[in-house]
Structure 1
Amino acid sequence: MEGIQIFLIVLLVILLILYFLKQQWSRRHFPPGPLALPLIGSIWKFNFGIGYNLDTPIKWAEQYGDIFTLWMGHMPVVFLSGFEAVKEVLIDHSEEFSERPQTPIIINVGKGKGIAFSNGHTWEQQRRFGLVTLRKLGVGKKSMEAQIEEESQQLVEVFAREKGQPFDPALPIMNSVSNVICAMTFGYRFPLEDETFKKLIDAITHCLKFTGSLFYFLYEMFPWLMKHLPGPHNEGFRAMETVFSLVKKEIEKHKEQKSFQEPRDFIDFYLLEMEKRRNDPTSTYDEENLIQNISDLFFAGTETTTISLKWAILVLANHPDIQDKVYKEIEDVLSSSFFCYQDLKKLPYTNAVLHEIMRSKYPSLFGVPRQTATDVKIRGFLIPKGTTIIPDVRSALLDSKHWESPKEFNPKHFLDQDGYFVAREEYLAFGAGARVCLGEHLARMEIFIVLVNLLRAFRFQLPPGVKELNEDPEVGFITPPHPYKLCAVPRCSSS
């Protein structure tokens, strides 16, 4: 009996070795990368957050080259690292890399709908509608600036209540940014104490915490198993359903009011388009796409802008000399209390600081994944159609070949010798090509208008006894600063 057991164990080991060798042979055409083990692939290299940091993908690129492969179980994920490689994907081969991957979680949640993670005809039609409608709603115009101005003044009032004492600005910032999206999509803002609004913010926050977690990866790798098991992944899905449910209620209100006959917000414009295209067999305008579109706007438009503003305040508090220089330029150039987004062109140093914040404190781990729309040959490797691609935008923003001091906060990256602002092609914080960020202009407007109003009202200082706020981000799919407190000290002119 003992001999049979030994024989079976040896046979099992041989079979596993043969399976592993077969697996390695089938993967030989992909770019090199960390060793892929049976079942789990290269996921062991992540150590599930232990020993993994923002520099890890860049170090892998140094070891394996600027194009390398990680295996998520049996699924290949091809990384492109550094500005030249990322530019090649986002700009030079934009159409070939224009799709989004359809992973188990994306299929479960998005079902091929919306703007952010749809493909083909649905994506083309929904994105085109989104671009046109955002312009109609005032993005880039005075009407949207007025809405952002109102929210920024509300934020000033919330900060003022702290009376210069240490406080955490995270929630007030997120509330203000989210209310801009609410006004644009629903047609009105929520009072901060509104229970529905709190529910919406909590659900968005919970969903974003789930992404990048261990259970997120496990579900992507073993969906057939994870959907039957309890765990945080189920809470993440429930939070997403909460967002969908709240959006659906708003849509029902608009349908009952028939306000879309004279559209005033995103829902109205969409319902009107649904009515116009009712007999069009090629139309993708339906309620499911509308719900997903609005959810996309909330997730993309709330968290990244919120993170950038949190980083901006933290960095300015840590660099009081830069903060003072920005404030002086604002006061010298913007003599009136009234200003607009176009005034940013008159503020080269402020413009450089804002760009440098979003470069050095990029709010995502590496950007949003792509998928090859066709077989693509790049850097000598043939990447099959349907392969998940990660153009590592963070690595492009930290590429030592293109930035003088990539890991330092240095506004001179965007200034010439005479102090004039210089736009840089290496600055890909909002992506590029066919999938460039839909809300780029809105985000730029928000960050500028909110920060100008805050800096005119307060000087941001470190709490007593604190020498420096932590500038190491939390590591997940999004990379916000660790929770912090600072003092918003009222300026004499605003008292």
Structure 2
Amino acid sequence: MILYSLYECLDFKSFLFLICLLLLLIDLIRHKNPANFPPGPWPLPILGNVFTNVNYKTVDQVAFLFLFFQLIEKYGTIFSVRNGNDKIVYVSGFKTVKDVLITQGETFTDRPVSHLFDTLYKGRGLSFNNGYSWRKQQQFSSSHLKNFGEGRKTLEEHIHRECYFLCGAFKEEQGCPFNPLVKVNNAVANVIGSLVFGHRYEYDDVDFQKRLQMSAESVFLTGSVWNQLYDAFPGIMKWLPGPHQTIISNYQELANFLKEKVEQHRQDWDSNNPRDYIDAYLTETEKRKNDTEAGFNIESLVWCMVDLFEGGTETTTNTLRWALLYMIKYPDIQEKVRAEIDQVIGSRPPTLSDKANMHFTNAFIHEVLRKANLVPLNMARTARKDTTLGGYFIPKGTVMITNLTSVLYDKHEWETPDTFNPGHFLDSEGQFCRRNAFFAFSAGKRQCPGEHLAHMELFILLAILLQTFRFSPPPGEEPSLESQVGFTQAPLPYKLCAHLR
């Protein structure tokens, strides 16, 4: 009765004003930060900080770095933002990031629910899985990538074979300027493809090139504001057109392509003679048919393959592109790497065992990975329980994002963080030394399972390429080190010349 009388006394505008005021009050109470929660910029009602451009994916790299470090300067290495209904804590600096990834790694192991990717993965695979199932899937995949077949020998054979085709493709350019992207991307995809589904594709295969382009497009768009908006407002965004729908359709297309590979394998699968990851996984599925919580089934296999194939292609492709770019940018460094290859390996095929005697080459590869900064912001984690970090209270369920850029460029850990300097990984005697702040593959329990394979690929491919070619920029052109940032950071398209030695 009182509410009805109040309603009669108010005109429509006043009533609308009161409704808005009530909604704002509810939003304020609902999202009030607990005591001693990390500080951050004031969020907009309902929307949060979704349009504040805190996320590096919404702006160009220079603007992101300027904004991000402004926030660090204002709030410290631990600050918070709000994305829709989710509170997100950003963590920067080697010591604090190490605390999240390693010291308290068990607390921050889980992935938060990504509304966009949950429509596809549904908690399966490697990237968006949690708990017991994730641990078993991760253990199996890591073991396969390290020890498949005869282990290192088999992996080296795959890489040697593919590098033969890559060198042939480079030779076809006859020393003229060309963009190495397509050839390098196809070669890297063939290495991981040989391990995952036992097949390689020619560099002029139109269908395979289309799938690789779609995969690269998906990774780039995953780093866009559209992914952020979808996670903030899934109920609205799932009905709207836009790049977020392209992400979903591209991932589904890749999953369908890989599912066809699984069905082909099931027709002539022999558990005693595994040819690749699919065969090994099918065998593991039979062994674990009574362990349903481990999640070994055909659908999980498909999404594990999506993670391995896409992750193993995108990052290694861009690392090789950065390596070639740094070589033509710094020809003196290229000559030092080549001289070491000639001295230690000569003209025979390189093996991974050579790496221990090639300190400068190893340092060069690590510096490429550091300076290229392939994944500027790590994939999100979530707190599994209440904890503290840097003196702040972190409630259970809080989304955490570690700023890997701040680790790889930490001025307290690197002598010349903004300069390409292989000396970062050499001691006073010129011997290779791994640095504690080298988090190019993340760290801890969620560290990239393909790190071993990536290092092997990078070393052998670069060694063979430099045995075969001298690389230079096109005549009259100065190589640019500008980058484009999606989920990963890639060099802008460039051309080089590959001259036979």
TM class by shorter chain equals over 0.9
- Please, which of 255, 262, 268 is the counterpart of residue 251 of structure 1? 262
| Distance of 1:104 and 1:8 partners within structure 2 | 35
Aligned to 1:480: 490
In terms of mean alpha carbon deviation, does 174-183 or 470-479 score higher? 470-479
1:350-407 alpha-carbon deviations (Å, 9 max, x no partner)? 1111111101111112122211122221112221222211121221010011111111
121 and 17 in structure 1: CA distance in 2 versus 1, 3 angstrom threshold: closer
User: 2:66 and 2:367 mapped to 1: Cα distance?
Assistant: 18
SS at match of 1:489: strand
1:195: how far off? 4.3
Report deviation, 1:325: 1.2
Query: What CA distance in whole angstroms lies between the structure 2 residues aligned with 1:245 and 1:218?
Result: 26
Q: Residue type of the partner of 1:247?
A: L
* Structure-2-length-normalised TM-score: 0.92
Q: What does the per-residue CA deviation read over 1:65-115, in whole Å, with 9 as the maximum and x for residues that have no partner?
A: 111112112211111101000111111111001111112013112111012
Residue aligning to 1:346: 357
Which consecutive unaligned segments of at least 5 residues does structure 2 have?
1-7
Instruction: Map 1:438-453; keep pairs closer than 5 Å.
Output: 438-453=449-464
The one-letter code matched in structure 1 to 2:473 is L
Q: Which residue of structure 1 aligns with residue 393 of structure 2?
A: 382
Partner AA of 1:152 in structure 2: C
Contact 1:376–1:382 (8 Å) recurs in 2:
yes
For 1:52 and 1:138, the matched residues in 2 are separated by: 47
CA shift for structure 1 position 273: 1.6
Give the structure 1 partner of residue 3 of structure 2. none
Q: Tell whether the 8 Å contact from 1:365 to 1:476 is kept in structure 2 after alignment.
A: no
DSSP-derived class of the 2:89 partner: strand
Q: Kindly, what percent of the aligned residue pairs are identical?
A: 39
Hey, what's the Cα distance between the residues in 1 that align with 2:184 and 2:434?
28
- Among candidates 460, 469, 473, match of residue 471 of structure 2: 460
- Following superposition, the deviation at residue 121 of structure 1 comes to 1.3
CA contact (8 A) 1:311 1:357 kept: yes
Give distance in 1, aligned partners of 2:102 and 2:351. 31
Asked if 1:44 corresponds to 2:51, the answer is: yes
The answer to whether the 8 Å contact 1:54/1:365 transfers is: no
- Cα distance in 2 for partners of 1:143, 1:374 equals 42
Contact 1:248 1:291 in 2 (8 A): yes
Following the alignment from structure 2 to structure 1, what is the Cα–Cα distance between the partners of residues 332 and 290? 62
SS of the residue aligned with 1:429? coil
Structure 2 residue aligned with 1:216, among 215, 227, 231?
227
Partner of 2:40: 33
Q: 1:336 to 1:462 in 2, by over 3 A?
A: closer
Q: CA deviation at 1:270?
A: 0.9
* Structure 1: gaps spanning 5 or more residues: none
Instruction: Work out whether residues 350 and 464 of structure 2, in 8 Å CA contact, stay in contact via their aligned partners in 1.
Output: no
Q: Does structure 1 retain, via aligned residues, the 8 Å contact 2:215–2:254?
A: yes
**Deviation of 1:196 (Å):** 4.2
User: AA paired with 1:33?
Assistant: G
Match of 2:4 in 1: none
Task: Please name the residue that 1:166 is paired with.
Answer: 177
1:154 Cα deviation (Å)? 1.1
TM-score (norm 1): 0.93
SS of residue paired to 1:45: coil
**Runs of 4+, deviation exceeding 6 Å:** none
Q: 1:471 aligns with which of 447, 471, 481?
A: 481
For residue 14 of structure 1, report the CA deviation from its aligned partner: 4.5
Say which SS state the counterpart of residue 119 (structure 2) adopts. Answer: helix
RMSD: 2.1
Matched residues in 2 for 1:116 and 1:426: separation? 23
What is the CA–CA distance in structure 2 between the aligned matches of 1:7 and 1:74, rounded to whole Å? Answer: 28
Deviations 1:192-239 (A, max 9, x none): 233442343133122112211232222111110111112222122111
Report the Cα distance in structure 2 between the residues aligned to 1:26 and 1:280, rounded to whole angstroms: 41
- Preserved CA contact (<8 Å) 1:175 1:192: yes
Q: For residue 426 of structure 2, what is the amino acid of its counterpart? A: L
- The count of corresponding residues between Structure 1 and Structure 2 is 489
1:135 and 1:312 map into 2 onto residues whose CA distance is 24
Cα distance in 1 between the residues matched to 2:140 and 2:303: 13
Task: Work out whether 1:154 is the aligned partner of 2:161.
Answer: no
- Helix, strand or coil for the counterpart of 1:250? helix
Residue 325 of structure 1 is matched in structure 2 by 336
- In 2, Cα distance between equivalents of 1:155 and 1:281: 43
Q: Deviations over 1:12-62 (max 9, x none)?
A: 675466456536644554201122111221222218316733454344222
1:360 to 2:371 alignment: yes
Which residue pairs with 1:294 in the alignment? 305
2:279: which partner in 1?
Answer: 268
Cα distance in 2 between the residues matched to 1:59 and 1:458: 44
| SS, match of residue 52 in structure 2 | helix
Indicate if the aligned counterparts of 2:380 and 2:401 stay in contact, CA closer than 8 A. yes
SS at match of 2:260: helix
Q: Equivalents in 2 of 1:40, 1:255: separation in Å?
A: 48
1:214 counterpart letter in structure 2: V
